Amino acid sequence: MNTLFNAISLVPKMAQDDYVGFTFFVGCMAMMAASVFFFLSMNSFDRKWRTSILVSGLITFIAAVHYWYMRDYWAMNAESPTFFRYVDWILTVPLMCVEFYLILKVAGAKKALMWKMILASVIMLVTGYFGESVYRDQAQIWGLLSGIAYFYIVYEIWLGSAKKLAMQAGGSVLKAHKTLCWFVLVGWSIYPLGYMAGTPGWYDGLNGVLSMDVIYNIGDAINKIGFGLVIYSLAVQSTLKEAK
């Protein structure tokens, strides 16, 4: 009887010490819960914040769907779901760039700023994918190119025109912008660490010590949910202020 059930069961067996599988499961649930939270809270805000909250929810929702597949992919193949990972990122990271634009719109942010950041993020991810998946023996070079695009984004928001707009906006927008800047500088720097743990290069010492997927999964939870919560609290503060 037992073997029969095992044969027809669609749930793959998980090892007790499968930390990667564990973080895929928890990540999936966390992204789903966060999406419900953002979607349901959307209508309690002033109109001008609704798009930002909607985008926060879309980011975690897109991630939830991909985590659903990555979780299965890992459980079945015990292999990094690199393809799904990068499809997820290529959709969600540009949306995070859109968030910067949306909150800076009050200070007159132009679409050109948004497209510049989106372009840089796409370059960062496509070069990262090449290094991680297609040209693995040149992972260092592709990682470096990806890193340059990453630093361009960091520059733009910390010192470039996005920063100037945030200063003009002032108040809670400036505060939220600053917090998001820290997410990009510190939170996003988790990813190159994961990349180094999972690809060959001068940093080979990291291989085996840390698991690339665990690092990526922790990074995603912090950055996607945390980022959304910063936007959420900005909307709460601004709605409260206007009610006064």
Stretch that binds ligand RET, among 74-82, 101-109, 141-149, 234-242 (CB under 6 A): 141-149
The answer to whether residues 210 and 193 touch, using CB atoms and an 8 Å cutoff, is yes
Give the start-end residues of each E strand in the chain: none
What is the SS3 assignment for 207? strand
- Cα 148–chain centre separation: 18
Structure tokens at 170: 């002032």
Taking the C-alpha atoms of residue 116 and residue 45, their distance in angstroms, rounded to an integer, is 29
Site for ligand RET in 177-196 (CB under 6 A): 188, 191-192, 195
Judged by CB under 6 A, the residue of 21, 27, 57, 128 near ligand RET is: 128
Question: From the CB of 46, what's the least distance to ligand RET, in Å?
Answer: 27
DSSP for residue 135: S
Burial of 1 (0-12, 13-18, 19+ CB in 10 A): exposed
Comparing CB distances to ligand RET, the nearer of 61 and 150 is 150
Comparing CB distances to ligand RET, the nearer of 21 and 128 is 128
Burial call 164-189: b when 16+ CB within 10 Å, e when fewer? ebbeebeebbbbbbebbbebbeebbe
CA nearest neighbour of 37 among 20, 18, 59: 59
Judged by CB under 6 A, the residue of 35, 146, 217, 238 near ligand RET is: 146
Does the protein bind ligand RET through residue 61 (CB under 6 A)?
A: no
What residue number has its CB nearest to ligand RET?
128
Element (H, E) at 1: none
Comparing CB distances to ligand RET, the nearer of 31 and 174 is 31
Question: From the CB of 224, what's the least distance to ligand RET, in Å?
Answer: 5
Does the protein bind ligand RET through residue 93 (CB under 6 A)?
A: yes
Judged by CB under 6 A, the residue of 35, 60, 80, 92 near ligand RET is: 92
What residues make contact with ligand RET under the rule CB under 6 A?
A: 89, 92-93, 124-125, 128, 143, 146-147, 150, 188, 191-192, 195, 220, 223-224
